[in-house]
Amino acid sequence: MTEPAATSPPSQTERPLRIAMVTDAWDEANNGGVVSAHRFTEIFRNRGHQVEVLATGRPEPGKIPLKTFFVPTPGGLMQKMRFPFAWPDRRILEEVLARQDVVHVQFPFYLGIRAITVARKLRVPVVSTFHVQAEHILHNVNVHNRTLVDWLYRFFLRTTYNRCDHVVCPSRFAQEELQRYGLRVPSTVISNGVPPEYCPLPRAECHTFEGKFTILSVGRLAPEKRHDLLIEAVRNSRHEARIQLVILGDGPQRARLEAQGGTLTNPPVFKWLKPAELIPYYGGADLCVHAAEVEVECMSVLEAMACGLPCLIARSPLSATSQFALSDRFLFEAGSREDLTQKIDSWIEDAGALTRARVEYREASRPYAVETSADRLLAVYRTVAAGATARSPAAAA
């Protein structure tokens, strides 16, 4: 299992930083990148740093709201994904970014692109995080075309990542993907991390389904997450009648998945919950299954691990999540219903080993504490802030 790369934490005597967190979505955290931005913002503010958020949604202290727009997509896809885009008001960007030590762009979309342009004109250093793979976007509109994937990565690199001073990658896999497509600026591997409240709970505080083997899956209900594969794997299990599938998330495929799972002996429980509300479900499940084929890290698997929940993970060439598997028994071949069914049956029939794995997964999550990731991210901020005066005006083009 790959641990996050080490970076020395900053001295506690260094002055507080002024940070702009630039992220399209904010109010409804239905995306790992948004959840991560929330967590780091809270930590930085608690440590005395000044963080101003530029995003869509309601005004609140420390947040400057921007107008919302949605890219037209078939069936209102982006609305169903709960992901609004922010309109980059140049006056607001110039006013807010001019008073920062560092700008952190979360997404390679229109707001992020324009924020980088303004920041570089003002000679304010920019950090970005690689949250969105090209395949995330294209698979959601049912496009599986290698040429378009290559083009979209080149677009992201040209408009966003290669115009930044530093790129944060949530996993080694993510870093290698960007470098393979042509990343030229410095990058650092920093996990999104997991907060301390994600921990094992007393059984009485967990959501349980007595007499059932509970399989939990947490994530956006989108094609690349492959909840459809998980439902069919359960349907074909030797133990189908005693499995309770719990799927926590929302997205464009919800109605289709509810209909697909409705014919199981125990139809899946579907809920959309706030991040903190997930913890009792992690604690009450027997096994977490993550079938997604596209992933830069996967925060839900980290959260499950921290709660002591063993995780069965898809082995995919487009996903970093297999780095968290403790052994091959916790991996299945991405897209293979047969392999997933076999692994589920294997664990149902080996309850003792699955129980022992709970402690092992909890221990394996410890290097990924969000406070450690915050230390590393602040070290990146201070590095780029220290070099800001060396920037050439020509870079603003």
Region 93-107: mean pLDDT is: 98
Sorted by where each begins, the domain ranges of the chain are 18-193+369-396, 203-367
**How much is the pTM?**
0.90
Query: What was the pLDDT predicted at 390?
Result: 46
Query: What was the pLDDT predicted at 85?
Result: 92
How confident is the model over 197-206, as pLDDT tens digits? Answer: 999 999 999 9
Would the pLDDT of 19 be above 50?
yes
- Domain at 18-193+369-396: CATH architecture: 3-Layer(aba) Sandwich (3.40)
How confident is the model over 167-214, as pLDDT tens digits? Answer: 999 999 999 999 999 999 999 999 999 999 999 999 999 999 999 999
Q: Give the model's confidence band at 149: pLDDT under 50 very low, under 70 low, under 90 confident, else very high.
A: very high
| Topology match between the domains 18-193+369-396 and 203-367 | yes
Percent of the chain scoring above 90 in pLDDT: 83
How confident is the model over 240-270, as pLDDT tens digits? Answer: 999 999 999 998 899 999 999 999 999 999 9
Region 54-67: mean pLDDT is: 96
Region 132-146: mean pLDDT is: 85
Query: What was the pLDDT predicted at 3?
Result: 56
Q: Give the model's confidence band at 144: pLDDT under 50 very low, under 70 low, under 90 confident, else very high.
A: confident
Q: Which fold has domain 203-367?
A: Rossmann fold (3.40.50)
Residues with Cβ < 8 Å from 88, sequence gap 6 or more?
Answer: 66, 110, 111, 113, 114, 115
How confident is the model over 211-223, as pLDDT tens digits? Answer: 999 999 999 999 9
How confident is the model over 349-390, as pLDDT tens digits? Answer: 999 999 999 999 999 999 999 999 999 999 999 999 998 744
Higher pLDDT pick, 364 / 80: 364
